[in-house]
Amino acid sequence: MVRFLSTVILSLLSFGAFAADSLPSELDSADRRAELIGWEGVGRLDVARRSTCSGALIAPDLVLTAAHCVVDGKNQPYAADQITFRAGLRNGDYVAASRGIAVAVTPGYDITDNVTAGNIRRDVALIQLASPIARAQAAPFPIHRTSKPRGELMVASYGQGRNDALSIQRECHVIDFSQDIYSFDCDITFGSSGAPVFAYDGVRPAIVSVVSSMGVRDGRRVGFGMALSDRVAALKRQIALGAAQVAAKPVVVKRISVGGGSTQSVGNAKFLPAK
């Protein structure tokens, strides 16, 4: 039996209704801006003007995220053109933005079911963007070549109280890995759904997992994610074969440079408890 099943699973981690957000002034500091250089491939997903999640480019036109971020309460994928990815979003500025044109969800994922081991393993989705984002603006991240990374983990996410600016934790750890499910002690909160979990694979961070849910284990908050193994390749095949949810018509894509535009802030956590 998977060891984490004895953990109290608290929730999925997506956000709810659009609202104004207040942010600490230190997010505008020069040191803070410098810290985010190289992380522009991580961005915020705004979904059907109802919720936000985190996501990461794995190709110029592909965003990796959690399945529960892109399906509705009836377990149906949202229309791709209702999903917008804002790469490198920071305090209203972003390096590029595109709506989706196709959404692929891992078969068998069921948001109406409990937060189970099977659902966590399948909680992976890909969004194909209507227009690729240039590598010079936001370089995609590779998928880690092994499910047993060495060294410390890192997580980059947009969370409650900080969902208009990327937060990066550079030192966290795998607590357990069993049956393709990780538990880790990374700093995640509501809105961290779909956030990439990284470990070094050579000279650049590579994505090991995607944040699916959080819980309490031995009195401390922990996060859960899945091994990506062949799941990303299967989602790519869905899109290539036209089996994904596809936008009905081409969408207008907006691309701007940092400092050249604004975006609406989002707040108010949506709490989805395990049943």
DSSP 79-110: PGGGEEEEET-BTTB-SEEEEEEEEEE-TT--
pTM: 0.81
pLDDT value at residue 14: 52
Question: What are residue 125's DSSP bridge partners?
Answer: 65, 105
Structure-token match 């099977």, residue found: 118
Minimum mean pLDDT range among 33-37, 74-78, 238-242: 33-37
pLDDT in tens, 22-71: 333 344 555 555 566 889 999 999 999 888 999 999 999 999 999 999 99
Q: Over the stretch 124-180, which tens digit does the pLDDT of each residue have?
A: 999 999 999 999 999 999 999 988 888 899 999 997 667 888 999 999 999 999 999
Identify the structural domains of the chain with CATH numbers, from first to last.
3-263 (2.40.10.10)
Distance CA 2, CA 11 (A): 18
What is the model's pLDDT at position 12?
53
pLDDT of residue 263: 35
User: Can you read off the two tokens belonging to residue 234?
Assistant: 């299967």
Of 78-92, 113-127, 180-194, the least confident? 180-194
For the stretch 182-228, pLDDT in tens is: 999 998 877 789 999 999 998 889 999 999 998 888 888 899 999 99
